[in-house]
Amino acid sequence: MTPSETPFDTRSILPDDDVGYDGIDDIGELDVLHDREYRVRAFRMSGDRLLIRGAVRDQKPPNLYIADDDRPLTIHHMQIDLEVGFPSLEIMKATVRFETHPHGGCPSIIDHYGGLVGLSIARGFTHKVRELFGGPRGCTHTTALLQAMAPVAVQCFWSMDAAESNRATEPEEPGRDRRGERWASNLNTCHVWAEDGELVTNLHAGGDFGIPIFIAKRAAELGLEPDDARLRLNR
């Protein structure tokens, strides 16, 4: 699949320059200094394996460091592939690449990230990453990318069931029900999923979390009813 065929919206997620800020009508009138971009994408390898692929890139604008240079200048570009077991979310394999780096010694830390293997990318992962790779024990940019990748793996609890339900050649395991696993993975991750909050209390009582707003909005655009079989809600 080429970049032009990606199934995702790849437009900038930043506000447009004409969305003002504190008395500034057009952000585009300011001198731009730096751009950092994260991208993380998850793939289903099999019913029990995920591939989480991530990258971070830092760029400087044209003509900032080199006079009369009309091209943006990439100063950091790191990539990580994590092969992750499902639903355990244990890291089975980790591959780190340095595409662009400022110093000759930067890539010498790559093999150290082999220490990711065997870790769970779920609860407590951010703390463990800081412990193993924070500060002089790792690359600042690679470690920051890892922390951005972990929540994507957790999001796949919902996506894997939807993907598997669309594979007629791979029938779902009899008696399999991951609803508890899915919402338990979100427990205490934010104010909405607080263990003593309204949503979790309702789930413990046998209710469900309703139709997410983004699905309800798209369903309305497509003229679908909430009980339409095409809505893979996995509730």
Packing angle between helix 125-133 and helix 140-165, nearest 10 degrees? 150
Return all residues near 27 (Cβ < 8 A) that are at least 6 apart. 15, 17, 18, 19, 20, 21
pLDDT digit string, tens, across residues 69-86: 999 999 999 999 999 999
- Are 86 and 67 in contact by the 8 Å Cβ rule? The answer is no
- Which tokens belong to 177? 């029900």
- Indicate the average pLDDT of the chain: 84
pLDDT for residue 175: 42
Neighbours of 173 (CB within 10 A): 9
Residue 179's Cβ-side half-sphere holds a number of Cα atoms within 13 Å equal to 13
pLDDT for residue 235: 47
Range in 6-15, 87-96, 166-175 with the lowest mean pLDDT: 166-175
Residues 34-43 have a mean pLDDT of 96
pLDDT for residue 90: 96
The pTM for the full model equals: 0.79
Counting residues of the chain whose pLDDT is more than 90, the rounded percentage is 51
